A and B are shown apart, each in its own frame.
Chain A
Amino acid sequence: MDWFVPLFVIVPLGGAFLIAIIGSFARPFGRFFTSLVLASLIGLTLYVIFSVTIPIVYMVGGHGPIEKVPIGITMILDGLSVYLLLIINLIGFFSAFYSISYMKKFTSENYYYTLFCLMVAGMNGVVLSGDVFNLYVFLEMAAISSYALVAFGIEKEELEASFKYQVLGGASSLFILLGIAFLYWNTSTLNIADISRVIGTTANSATANSEFVKFVGVILLAGFGLKAAMIPFHAWLPDAHSSAPSPISSMLSGVLIKAIGVYVIFRLFFNMFTISYDTALVITTIGTLSMVIGVLLAIGQWDIKRLLAYHSISQMGYVVIGVGIGMLVIAHNGPRSVAALSIAGGLYHLFNHAVFKGLLFLNAGAVEYETGIRDMKKLGGLSSLMPVTTSTSLGASMSISGIPPFNGFFSKLIIIIAAIQAGYYVLSILAVFVSIITLASFLKVQRFTFFNKPNEKWNRGDFNVREVPFAMCFSMVFLAVLCLGLSLFIVPAVRDIFITPAVNVLLNSAVYSTGVLGY
């Protein structure tokens, strides 16, 4: 019962192919087919969550291990993969549906939808793949299509941002490939589980080997840190995420930096390398820096999408410290319940951030669609003209800054409680402090964009601002409902279905290797 595992990659890949072929004859084909592809993937993910026992190990082409040496490509569907698949396809669906109206003003829409499907296929492949080189190939697939999508507007700013993104992204990919080469050199295998077994059996005996693990760890952390835009590596993110078309910004900020950056860091450092105090400390420090500096850079921005992009860095910092504290506790042999709580908080915030940041970028896109302006100083008073955009953006803003009934509050609360239980008081104070600055910054967004004195030019001549079309409203309203609905994850029964399997994968990090290899 594992026939459906490769479908997560095949369906969007085939979709991209069909859109490129059929779309040149029938122009609106790609527009609706992309949403259909993503909707079917959501259905498949929900089917996996509710009626399949995971983990599933799928051998591509049936090439199983020979004499206990894994030789084929493996795809692994465990709790963490399913959780990421749900996030990718959910945000992907709403972005694709939003694009139906938003992308009408662009020429060559079909290339857009082709690249969109390719990007989704790449990200689905990354979270499913069970060996490092295959992971690299899927990662490049997602990354290259995202480079092209950032430049989709082909104006001065888009091209500049895309070039910057490509140079840094290309360098990071080469660091990752170099790390993979070193891994293969010392372990003679590419399978993540097998590498973990080799490192685990020899690390204690030879000191040279543990030095090697640290060296490769640093190279890989630099590579994936660049992809995830953690703070010393963040320079490309605000440009790329603010220049892309808005549905793509919401995909990049909401999903891409998680699926090909943060997820891989967690997967490799929990399940491949043995957890050590040093790496845990480095990861938590990077997370803290991202959280604090990201928000400080964000507060002074006047371009809506640039401000949101800086907040992405800051919010990903929360995710990383949540999981990083869990890692520190495990490295100390501390209480496992605290580690579980902390990791659960981090992963919960990952989902929440995808939803509310996706929604905020879609709101910014709606404002830009109607007015053509992104500078908050020139906006104002849109609340009466665009009620749906205003109310959904209000919900998302309250969610990101942690106002109680919304999901952002609960995940931040869990992370802060876990930090206090683990004894990292400074981190918990910083988390509260950053949350307050986030609130201030979003008060600014709300006031200057939607609630200030109405600009008189909105009703005149070439502006004629009104509510955005149905497809855009639909996506925004549903994401806003999700912002409230995800608060249900705090209920233990719901949490056990969605988050707990993912937490267990990270918490019982040694089980991964034996589960995949079968010995």
Chain B
Amino acid sequence: MTVYLLCILLFLIGLYGVVAKRNLIKIVIGLAIMEYSVNLFLILVGYVKGGTAPILSRNLANKVFVDPLPQAMVLTAIVIGLATTSLLLAIAIRLYRKYKTFDIREIKNLKG
């Protein structure tokens, strides 16, 4: 149970980073932390105590396997996360070139 709570704590740390930080790069890092915590949670969901990789072979000593489906899902989620993070960083660099700062308090053309 503790490990699940720690996982949720990691999610909340990431959320804190997104909500409270004023630096574009730190916000991106916060989102990345949130993403890792969700991936970790998915792996934990599929984990079975004492399980091995689910590969069928002739003489199996250990009949306990971990669930492979969440692992496949995490692989997909990592690829998606790569796309979002790289796009975010690309936009952050473009913003830096336009405004000469990473501070979101200085970047506020849009409001109302």
Contacts and interface: CB of A to CB of B under 8 A. Distances in A.
B110 A159 contact: no
Contact of B94 (A159, A181, A239): A159
Contacts of A171: 15, 18, 31, 34
Interface residues of B, number: 33
A160 B111 CA distance: 11
Interface stretch (A161-169, A274-282, A343-351, A448-456): A161-169
B45 A170 contact: no
A218 B94 CA distance: 36
Contacts of B83: 140, 144
A181 B34 contact: no
B42 interface: yes
Interface in A155-198: 155-157, 159-164, 166-167, 170-171, 173-174, 177-178, 181, 184-185, 190
A103 interface: no
B110 A181 contact: no
A301 interface: yes
B11 A157 contact: no
Contacts, number: 89
Given A147-B87, A160-B95, A185-B45, A170 B31 contact: yes
Given A163-B88, A163-B91, A306-B112, A174 B38 contact: yes
A160 B45 contact: no
A160 B11 CA distance: 25
Contacts of A300: 112
Given A144-B83, A160-B107, A177 B38 contact: yes
A22 interface: no
Contacts of A133: 73, 76
B27 A178 contact: no
Given A184-B70, A306-B112, A170 B88 contact: yes
A154 B94 contact: yes
A144 B84 contact: yes
A171 B83 CA distance: 14
A157 B109 contact: yes
A148 B80 CA distance: 14
A167 B98 contact: no
A512 to B, nearest CB: 23
Interface residues of A, number: 35
Pick from B24, B69, B84, B92 the residue with the most CB of A within 10 Å.
B84
A269 B91 CA distance: 35
Interface in A385-431: none
B15 A160 contact: no
Given A144-B84, A160-B107, A177-B77, A184 B27 contact: no
A243 interface: yes
Contact of A157 (B35, B45, B84, B110): B110
A36 interface: no
Interface string A452-496: 000000000000000000000000000000000000000000000
B41 A178 contact: yes
Interface string B67-82: 0011001001100100
Contact of B109 (A151, A156, A167, A181): A156
A137 B72 CA distance: 13
Contact of B45 (A155, A184, A243): A184
A142 to B, nearest CB: 12
Nearest to B19: A171
A159 B80 contact: no
Contacts of A184: 42, 45, 69-70, 73
Given A157-B109, A178-B41, A184-B45, A163 B95 contact: yes
A87 B69 CA distance: 34
Interface of A: 133, 137, 140, 144, 147-148, 151, 154-157, 159-164, 166-167, 170-171, 173-174, 177-178, 181, 184-185, 190, 238-239, 243, 300-301, 306
23 contacts: A137-B80, A144-B84, A144-B87, A155-B98, A156-B98, A156-B99, A156-B109, A159-B94, A160-B109, A160-B110, A161-B110, A163-B88, A166-B87, A167-B27, A177-B42, A177-B77, A181-B38, A181-B41, A184-B45, A184-B70, A184-B73, A185-B45, A306-B112
The 10 closest A-B pairs by CB, nearest first: A185-B45, A239-B110, A140-B80, A181-B42, A159-B95, A174-B34, A170-B31, A177-B38, A156-B98, A163-B91
Given A137-B76, A144-B83, A164-B110, 17 more contacts: A147-B87, A156-B99, A160-B110, A163-B24, A163-B88, A163-B95, A170-B31, A170-B84, A174-B31, A174-B35, A177-B77, A178-B11, A178-B41, A181-B41, A181-B45, A184-B70, A238-B112
